[in-house]
């Protein structure tokens, strides 16, 4: 099996390798965990949480029924790449954006009264007919129609010819915490709100509530669709425990050079690390401009040959330094795992997130645009981009 740096020898050997077969298995595992009649909406916003939305969207055909993104721009990127699955835009959207939404055939998730007004004015002006989803605020408190908005909502919908509500949804505020009854309360509030809408003549064939944490907790009722995000990428949706699927991303680099330093010598900006003993320092071509956070300075570890080495000194823009004194045999050109599995050990997105006081989502999204995403499908490796399929 060739490696990314063998395959792309003229590039800096820092790559995020994405395992597409693992993505297939994750999609299958989610589908298998759902009750009867439930289907997956694959949430590929933010460039599929840093994994590359186009390549992952291509794998969704036949495994997911809809793709969800946050932005109109994200939807356009997928459509321009010939992705044919329905694309739901989670929003918000402005009046100026709706003509494009109509023209490209996207599904807008209408997130509240202001957006409804913008949508209705453009739909009337253009004579557009089609399907929308409605988002209800059952307790997240950011977006969605409130109970008090429903009557006016039903009135505006009645005035729109040819507009069908295909889906009604809501988003959970604290689904990872199984001890917090709030998620169940949100489900009850959603049920009450959809009942109220039904009484007002608004019904949708499709309801979707669950995010990854709710899927992992089994809070999906028969027939409901789910919006699966982080669970698709194999990171942990739950705080404790971990029904984690397979991580897709391995972020690797290679040792650029090795240097012996004497006790008392410092390494890097600000002289934040001083050798306490004769030390061997490996310099690696990755830095905070690649999303390897500066706050990982003197905090994180990397894997070389399946063994751990600490990051010492400051993370610079383009370089980091690790102490390999205790790993005899490390040589220039050796592969280094920044995130992902190597042998029996793994640096997880959760491990890096804990060091930075954040969540795995942010770690994955932060892997920089300068780091090429390399896609692996069995023995085949490629970089996403125009004409890059084969090379
Ligand atoms: C991002 C997002 C999701 C996916 O959340 P995960 O926790 O990653 O599963 C689902 N629904 C909405 C509305 C979102 O914005």
Those residues whose C-beta lies under 8 Å from the C-beta of residue 81, and which sit 6 or more positions away, are: 54, 57, 58
Residue 341 phi/psi, 5° resolution?
Answer: -95, 145
Q: 174: which 2 tokens? A: 């604290």
Of 252, 258, 233, the residue nearest 244 (C-alpha): 233
State the pLDDT at residue 50.
Answer: 98
Please give the Cα distance from 142 to 112 (Å, whole number). 10
Of 251, 292, 290, 287, the residue nearest 269 (C-alpha): 287
Those residues whose C-beta lies under 8 Å from the C-beta of residue 200, and which sit 6 or more positions away, are: 150, 151, 154
Q: What is the mean pLDDT of the chain?
A: 96
Quick one: what percent of the chain has pLDDT higher than 90? 94
Which atom from ligand 1 is nearest to the alpha carbon of 361?
8
Please give the Cα distance from 6 to 23 (Å, whole number). 24
213 CB-contact burial (10 Å; exposed 0-12 / middle 13-18 / buried 19+): buried
Q: 35: which 2 tokens? A: 């009750």
The residue whose CB lies within 8 Å of the most ligand 1 atoms, and thus the one to mutate among 69, 229, 230, 350, is 229
Please give the Cα distance from 123 to 325 (Å, whole number). 66
Quick check: CB of 64 below 6 Å from ligand 1? no
Residue 1 has pLDDT above 80, yes or no: no
pLDDT tens, 65-88? Answer: 999 999 999 999 999 999 999 999
Quick check: CB of 69 below 6 Å from ligand 1? no
- Residue holding tokens 């009135």? 155
Please give the Cα distance from 367 to 50 (Å, whole number). 6
Tell how far the Cα of 213 is from the centroid of ligand 1, in angstroms.
Answer: 9
| Higher-pLDDT residue of 101, 238 | 101
Name the band, by pLDDT with cuts 50, 70 and 90, for residue 238. confident
Residue 272 has pLDDT above 80, yes or no: yes
For residue 106, the 8-state DSSP code is: P
Average pLDDT over residues 39-56: 98
What predicted TM-score, i.e. pTM, was given to this entire model? 0.96
Quick check: CB of 244 below 6 Å from ligand 1? no
Which residues have a catalytic role annotated? 45, 269
- Residue holding tokens 């401009």? 289
Residue 168 has pLDDT above 90, yes or no: yes
Name the band, by pLDDT with cuts 50, 70 and 90, for residue 241. low
Tell how far the Cα of 316 is from the centroid of ligand 1, in angstroms.
Answer: 33
Neighbouring CB atoms inside 10 A of 298's CB total 15
Tell how far the Cα of 144 is from the centroid of ligand 1, in angstroms.
Answer: 14
Tell how far the Cα of 330 is from the centroid of ligand 1, in angstroms.
Answer: 41
The residue whose CB lies within 8 Å of the most ligand 1 atoms, and thus the one to mutate among 44, 50, 89, 90, is 90
Residue 242 has pLDDT above 80, yes or no: no
Name the band, by pLDDT with cuts 50, 70 and 90, for residue 391. very low
Distances (CA, A) of 318 to 109, 283, 311, 324, 371: 40, 10, 14, 19, 11
97 three-state secondary structure: helix
Name the band, by pLDDT with cuts 50, 70 and 90, for residue 390. very low
Average pLDDT over residues 175-185: 96
Quick check: CB of 360 below 6 Å from ligand 1? no
Quick check: CB of 171 below 6 Å from ligand 1? yes
- Residue holding tokens 């060739």? 2
Please give the Cα distance from 22 to 344 (Å, whole number). 18
């Amino acid at each position: 099996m060739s490696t990314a740096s063998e395959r792309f020898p003229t590039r800096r050997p820092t790559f995020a390798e994405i395992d597409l077969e693992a993505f297939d298995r994750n999609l299958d595992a989610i589908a298998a965990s759902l009750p009867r009649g439930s289907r997956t909406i694959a949430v590929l916003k933010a460039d599929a949480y840093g994994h590359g939305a186009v390549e992952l969207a291509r794998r969704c055909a036949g495994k997911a029924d809809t793709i969800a993104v946050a932005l109109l721009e994200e939807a356009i990127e997928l459509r321009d790449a010939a992705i044919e699955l329905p694309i739901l835009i989670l929003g918000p959207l402005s009046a100026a954006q709706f003509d494009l939404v109509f023209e490209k055939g996207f599904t807008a998730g209408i997130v509240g009264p202001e957006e409804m007004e913008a949508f209705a004015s453009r739909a009337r002006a253009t004579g557009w007919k089609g399907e929308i989803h409605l988002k209800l605020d059952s307790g997240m408190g950011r977006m969605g129609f409130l109970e008090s908005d429903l009557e006016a909502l039903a009135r505006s919908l009645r005035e729109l010819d040819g507009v069908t509500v295909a889906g009604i949804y809501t988003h959970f505020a604290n689904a990872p915490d199984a001890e917090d009854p709030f998620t169940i309360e949100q489900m009850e509030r959603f049920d009450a709100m959809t009942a109220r809408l039904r009484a007002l003549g608004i019904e949708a064939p499709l309801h979707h509530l669950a995010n990854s944490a709710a899927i992992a907790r089994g809070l999906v009722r028969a027939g409901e669709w789910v919006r699966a995000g982080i669970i698709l990428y194999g990171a942990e949706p739950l705080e404790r425990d971990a029904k984690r699927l397979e991580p897709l991303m391995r972020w690797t680099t290679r040792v650029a050079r090795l240097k012996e330093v004497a006790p008392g010598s410092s390494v890097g900006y600000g002289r934040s690390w001083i050798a306490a003993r004769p030390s061997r320092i490996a310099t690696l071509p990755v830095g905070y401009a690649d999303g390897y956070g500066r706050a990982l300075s003197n905090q994180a570890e990397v894997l070389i040959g399946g063994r751990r080495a600490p990051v010492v000194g400051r993370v610079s823009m383009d370089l980091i330094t690790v102490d390999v004194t205790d790993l005899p045999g490390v040589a220039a050109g050796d592969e280094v795992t920044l995130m992902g599995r190597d042998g029996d050990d793994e640096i997880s997105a959760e491990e890096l997130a804990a060091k930075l006081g954040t969540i795995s989502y942010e770690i994955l999204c932060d892997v920089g645009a300068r780091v090429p995403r390399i896609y692996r499908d069995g023995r085949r490796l490629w970089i996403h981009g125009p004409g890059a399929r084969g090379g």
